[in-house]
Amino acid sequence: MDRSETRVKYTASGLKNIGVFDSGFGGLTMFKEFLKVLPDYDYIYLGDNARAPYGNKSDEVIYNYTKQAIDFLFKQDCELIIIACHTASAKALRKIQQEYLLKNYSDKKVLGVVVPIVEEAIKLSRYHKLGIIGTKATINSDAYKKELEKLRSDLKIFQQACPLLVPLVEEGWVKKPETKMILKKYLLPLKVKQIDTLILGCTHYLFLIKDIIRIMGKNVKIINPAIAVAEKLAIYLDKHKDLEKKLSKNKKIIFYTTDDVIKFKELGQRFLGKSIENINKIIL
């Protein structure tokens, strides 16, 4: 079958939605918080599950995948898009904002997760010793480190790539002793550095937050990325009244996945913490 024949046929609804994009399921943990803080809006969630994870891919590939997702969501009448994927935010957002939007969607907005999380970390840090855990791509990008240093020049920043955690979470191995052992191995170098604040630079890590808190101890502040981003989004909409007025408020949610719909429903409900309906498969 020709690739074009498998594409979903869609038409603009006339509604102005908030788009939420992630490379897979992890963004649903962030979307869950959006629905708590901003429940009245209409949302479209897109998970590029067929091509996940993004964390081990090149910068060029991550940018192209992100661009395709952004393009799709804008064609679905999204007025604002949140890139809930830490890797895409770290590796593609700046180029999307500075080049792609200016050429193609100058009246639209795309926001990421790095800046809101960094601002919260700076606020909570007592001794300015911060740790960051994330995928290889996120850590190698230095995106969090660069944004932290923009806000303060006196920080001590320690980073740790944790490539095994995402597949372990998606396999449902959160409570397995093997996962706890691997997590401890990743976190020990940061604990030795006596950090006071830890940034979870991946949406999947919220499933491990209880063990992370236990391993790091009560003196380390753990930044919950979902809460930080949801609260900043609410503030952003409050400050940008012209944009906010364009958004429809019917509490309507549509899900798109690039992979199997049944799998998305089964695993997605675990990430979102509620039943998922209205799921559509697309090819980007």
pLDDT digits (tens, 9 = 90+) for 128-170: 999 999 999 999 999 999 999 999 999 999 999 999 999 999 8
The topology (CATH level 3) of 115-225 is: Rossmann fold (3.40.50)
Q: Please give the full DSSP string across 60-109, using - where no structure is assigned.
A: HHHHHHHHHHHHHHHHTTEEEEEE--HHHHHHTHHHIIIIIHHHH-TT-E
Q: No. of H helices and E strands in the chain?
A: 14, 10
Q: What confidence tier does 242 reach under pLDDT thresholds 50, 70, 90?
A: very high
Query: What is the arithmetic mean of pLDDT over 212-233?
Result: 96
Nearest-angstrom CA–CA distance, 16 and 94 = 24
Please tell me whether residue 281 adopts helix, strand or coil conformation.
strand
Q: What confidence tier does 24 reach under pLDDT thresholds 50, 70, 90?
A: confident
CATH 3.40.50.1860 placement within the chain? 3-112+227-281, 115-225
Query: What is the arithmetic mean of pLDDT over 32-38?
Result: 97
pTM: 0.89
Q: Please give the full DSSP string across 222-272, using - where no structure is assigned.
A: EE-HHHHHHHHHHHHHHH-HHHHHHS--S--EEEEESS-HHHHHHHHHHHH
Domain 3-112+227-281 sits in CATH at 3.40.50.1860
Q: How much is the pLDDT for 55?
A: 84
Catalytic residues: 85, 202
Nearest residue to 30 (alpha-carbon basis) of 137, 124, 115, 113: 113
Q: Which tokens go with 31?
A: 């979307």
